[in-house]
Amino acid sequence: MKTLTLSWGDRPIVLETEEGRTFLRLGAALRVEVTDASVDQLEQLAQVTADLADFRWEQIRATNVASEVAAEDGVRTIGLPFQREAEAA
């Protein structure tokens, strides 16, 4: 299996239709054909993206807590080391 790593930041995620085929566009660099995707696959994709959103919210909350604790201790800013890990899709 080939792994593709792509970072798209806040670029748009949209559905595109071209010549009767449907694609999920992720930013400017990635387009995934979903024309023949089953309902189960699409629901699984929705669940994975919901899980990713929950994970990201937890990261944001953890960073905010660390900043609040640091502020209580008189520290103005704090940096948390973070290393991205590959996620299986």
What confidence category does residue 51 fall into, taking pLDDT thresholds of 50, 70 and 90? very high
Does the pLDDT of residue 45 top 80, yes or no?
Answer: yes
E strand residue ranges, the chain: 13-18, 21-26, 30-33
What confidence category does residue 37 fall into, taking pLDDT thresholds of 50, 70 and 90? very high
Q: CA angle, 35 as apex, 34 and 38 as ends, to 5°?
A: 75
Which tens digits make up the pLDDT trace of 5-20?
777 777 888 999 999 9
Q: What is the pTM of this model?
A: 0.58
